[in-house]
Structure 1
Amino acid sequence: MVLPCLNEAEALPGVLAAVPDGYRPLVVDNNSTDGTAEVARAHGAEVVTERRPGYGAAVHAGIVAAATPIVAVLDADGSLDPAELPALVAELDGADLVIGRRRPVAGLRWPWHARLGNAVVCRRLRARYRLPVHDIAPMRVARRDALLGLGVTDRRSGYPVELLVRAAQAGWTVRERDVTYRPRAGGRSKVSGSVRGSIIAALDFWRVL
């Protein structure tokens, strides 16, 4: 289980405590300044250091370092529950990639700019690539070797969109499953936490599309 991290020390203890039995947490520290790596090690996680900044760089480093035939990737901010991963893995029987579609809990304020960007990108993915997706896969599972074989090159925010595009081009069967989306357990989102962050991510997304 790959957890790309940039300053997630506050949320990590809760995330790691929820990891299901049999799953090996691998935290990728992407230039954190808040002791993320130390917190991860103190709670039993393996830590990989990735100096190249960017979400895609952290995810790729984690997948390369993973030693399991199936790899799961999810955000480490506490908004997603690792306990839901086994249900996604079970969907791999007959699929190549299974992604989580975020369903906000009651009362969660999901910023309009983040929701709008997500909806526009996913509409494009459905129309152009015939992908049955409504979210850009903040939680996903796939077979490691096949995932690396797709050759995703984006090392910034565009990584999950390029992953979906390349999966479609490779003829992969992609399934989507609802997952619970909760408030962050700490810190501030690097993307949806600001209009600027969302704009940067949107530009990365459209560059890939």
Structure 2
Amino acid sequence: MSPRGLSIEDIFVLIPALNEAESIASVIGRLRALGCSHIRVINNGSTDDTAAIARGAGAVVIDEPVAGYGMACWRGLQDLPEHARWVLFCDADGCDELEALPRFIAAAREGADLVLADRLSLSNSAEKLTLPQRFGNRLAVVLIRLVWGARFNDLGPMRLVNRLLLHEIDMKDRGFGWTVEMQIRAAQLSACFTEIPVAYQSRRHGRSKISGTVRGVIMAGTTILSTIAYHALWPRGADLKIASLRRTL
């Protein structure tokens, strides 16, 4: 599924954004400096100038008024051009190490269909996450390992995924369970994945919609755990048959 000839032109960048006017231009500029020319910002109900600034920075902006991280990501995937063979998801807050993208591409060229940012392997990076974030991510990946045997280290938002794998995954979540569902489904499908240690940065502008409030932390934790429980109790039978068949080939 992973072509060795992957180039930057094959990658379509999707950036969900909610009130990130102070950081979105920098994120787009950094991506363009890396050679990314296909950048789509999904404006998820911003009340500031996020959309206008993103357009001014050279991105295509799509409005998705229905709130939800997964809803914004799903909207961004609609009507992708044929040449978009790979999709890069990243955040609009400027915390992701976008400059690690060449390493993501190298991993994809070596055979990975899903390349994930690992914010927890580097101590200087991990300490930038809040305690609830670190605990929640560790608990989630341990549960995924116990149920499906896949050894993830993080649920980082920055991820490069093969479009064909995305089609197989068939994402259903429309909220904060988007990232964990993608990794669970990749495990169920026995997809080839790898994680790249990244230098995650503290947020410079605004406040996180998740870790910035007690309510956000509780909701995120509940969503992640309920998503894991749902997929553990009600696996998609056809996909498990596909995964079993792959292991016998």
Kindly report structure 1 stretches of 4+ aligned residues shifted beyond 4 Å: 106-109
Aligned to 2:113: 96
Equivalent residue in structure 1 for 2:56, among 33, 42, 51: 42
Question: What per-residue deviation string (whole Å, max 9, x for no partner) do you get for residues 42-93 of structure 1?
Answer: 1111111112210001111112243311110011101013221221122113
> Which whole-Å CA distance do the structure 1 matches of 2:123 and 2:73 have between them?
24
The 3-state SS of whatever aligns with 1:153 is: coil
Report the structure, 1 or 2, having the larger strand content: 1
What is the deviation of 1:104? 6.0
> Which whole-Å CA distance do the structure 1 matches of 2:167 and 2:220 have between them?
23
The 3-state SS of whatever aligns with 1:142 is: strand
Aligned to 1:200: 219
Structure exhibiting the larger radius of gyration computed from Cα positions:
2
The 3-state SS of whatever aligns with 2:71 is: helix
Q: Gapped runs of 5+ residues in structure 1?
A: none
The 3-state SS of whatever aligns with 1:115 is: helix
On the 8 A contact 1:105/1:182 being kept in 2, the answer is: no
Aligned to 1:12: 24
On the 8 A contact 1:11/1:77 being kept in 2, the answer is: yes
The 3-state SS of whatever aligns with 2:202 is: coil
Aligned to 2:76: 62
1:72 matched to 2:80: no
Paired letter, 1:62: G
From the superposition, tell whether residues 51 and 170 of structure 1 become closer, same or farther in structure 2 (CA, over 3 Å).
same
Normalised to the residue count of structure 2, the TM-score between the two structures is 0.79
1:162 matched to 2:181: yes
CA RMSD between the two structures? 1.7
Aligned to 2:145: 126
> Which whole-Å CA distance do the structure 1 matches of 2:196 and 2:125 have between them?
19
Aligned to 1:27: 41
> Which whole-Å CA distance do the structure 1 matches of 2:15 and 2:192 have between them?
24
Q: Gapped runs of 5+ residues in structure 2?
A: 1-12, 229-249
The 3-state SS of whatever aligns with 1:181 is: coil
> Which whole-Å CA distance do the structure 1 matches of 2:219 and 2:29 have between them?
32
> Which whole-Å CA distance do the structure 1 matches of 2:123 and 2:57 have between them?
28
What is the deviation of 1:128? 1.6
Return 85-94 or 32-41, whichever deviates more: 85-94
What is the deviation of 1:109? 4.2
Paired letter, 2:59: A
Report the structure, 1 or 2, having the larger helix content: 2
Normalised to the residue count of structure 1, the TM-score between the two structures is 0.94
From the superposition, tell whether residues 185 and 127 of structure 1 become closer, same or farther in structure 2 (CA, over 3 Å).
same
Report % sequence identity: 35
Paired letter, 1:158: G
How many pairs were matched up? 209
Higher relative contact order (CA 8 A, sep 6+): 1
Question: What per-residue deviation string (whole Å, max 9, x for no partner) do you get for residues 147-167 of structure 1?
Answer: 133111110000111111111
> Which whole-Å CA distance do the structure 2 matches of 1:208 and 1:119 have between them?
15
The 3-state SS of whatever aligns with 1:189 is: coil
The 3-state SS of whatever aligns with 1:180 is: coil
Return 109-118 or 182-191, whichever deviates more: 109-118
The 3-state SS of whatever aligns with 1:177 is: strand
Aligned to 2:190: 171
